[in-house]
Amino acid sequence: MRISALAAAAGLPLATVKYYLREGLLHPGTSTSATQATYDESHVRRLRLIRALTGAVGLSVQQARAILALVDDPGDDLYATLGRAVGSLPPTAAEPSADDPDPFPRARAALEALDQVYDPRFAAVAQLESALAAAEAAGMPISEERLLEYGRRLREIAAFDLERMPREPHAAVEYTVLGTALYEPVILALRRLAHQDAAARRELGA
């Protein structure tokens, strides 16, 4: 398959495929001469994955590259790889000042209340802190009761996810990293729809 066929197969403009190639999101094809290279199914699949990440998940090209790099070439430590993956997912929280003895007080309290591991190096901790701080600044702080409720339900979801993780290490990383990213929009949409469903039932029932 030449490049124009690849673009057609993925339903993308040729210029865009060249762009992804240039940006290193898509691995090069096999050169057959100075002005020719061939591409295969793996390139088509990769383009679909790139579009899923930059489209529905809403990643920037940079962030998508970081995630893809992790999937392509994971470390042997799932925990650390997952940490790095989460770090390259939005929202990107600001780095804490290095000398702050307690840079994430809200997140630490939350995790203690939930009886979960608190590791300030993990990017999601900073994300949680800034999300809690934002809710607070906006005049809608999250009560401990709400936090416990959310935390409990999400731990149930996470347990479900973990149960279904493939055994084989490379597949496990791919599943975990992509599952974190790809299923998040589904989760948000489902919550919004659950709200709508509840509101509709209330409207009709009252």
Partner DNA sequence: GTGATTGGATAGTGTTACTCTCCAATATTA
Partner DNA sequence: TAATATTGGAGAGTAACACTATCCAATCAC
CA 2 to chain centre: 32
Query: Could you count the other beta carbons within 10 Å of the beta carbon of residue 67?
Result: 25
Kindly tell me which residue out of 44, 48, 52, 54 binds DNA, with binding defined by CB under 7 A: 54
Check whether the bond before 91 is cis (ω within 30° of 0).
Answer: yes
* 158 part of the interface to DNA, by CB under 7 A: no
Q: How far is the CB of 35 from a copy of itself (least distance, A)?
A: 31
* 51 part of the interface to a copy of itself, by CB under 8 A: yes
Paired sense of beta strands 36-38 and 30-33, if any: antiparallel
Kindly tell me which residue out of 15, 34, 98, 138 binds a copy of itself, with binding defined by CB under 8 A: 138
Residue-level length of the chain: 206
Residue numbers 5-34 binding DNA by CB under 7 A: 5, 13-16, 18-19, 21-22, 28-29, 31-34
SS3 136: helix
Which residues are at the interface with DNA (CB under 7 A)? 2-5, 13-16, 18-19, 21-22, 28-29, 31-37, 39, 54, 60-62
